[in-house]
Amino acid sequence: MEKSCNTLINTSKTPKKAGRKPKHSPAEIEILKAEFLEYIETNEFPKINEFAYMKRINRQLLYENKELRELTELANLKKTAAYEKGMIDGSLQTAGCIFALKQHGWKDRQEVETVIIDKKKAKKELEKLFE
């Protein structure tokens, strides 16, 4: 007795794409992009989480989409510039600005210069000075 082999063949003309369908269409992304840019321009301290909450979207969308990610970087630049300006002109508390800037990746660095003194050479130079 022969065994029959049933194979499934996709007979549809358009091949199915792997993965999930995007949740937002390109048109929706363009609208969101324009709204995000307007939000950045109208707020002195643009907050990415606040914008995502206002639009009822997952903030990951703002980081995952290339065009929107560029706008999140622009928002962060504007915010850090506002903190710097507020710290310099005294309109904001310095400690709060420093904390906020550190949250954006800034670091305190101290440079320490190490000098090795050659005692014999130093002694000769001092003797020359006092001759």
- For residue 17, give both structure tokens: 């794409």
- For residue 116, give both structure tokens: 């090795």
Question: Poorest-confidence range of 15-24, 31-40, 54-63, 103-112?
Answer: 15-24
pLDDT in tens, 58-95: 999 999 988 899 999 999 999 999 999 998 898 989 88
Question: What pTM was estimated for this model as a whole?
Answer: 0.62
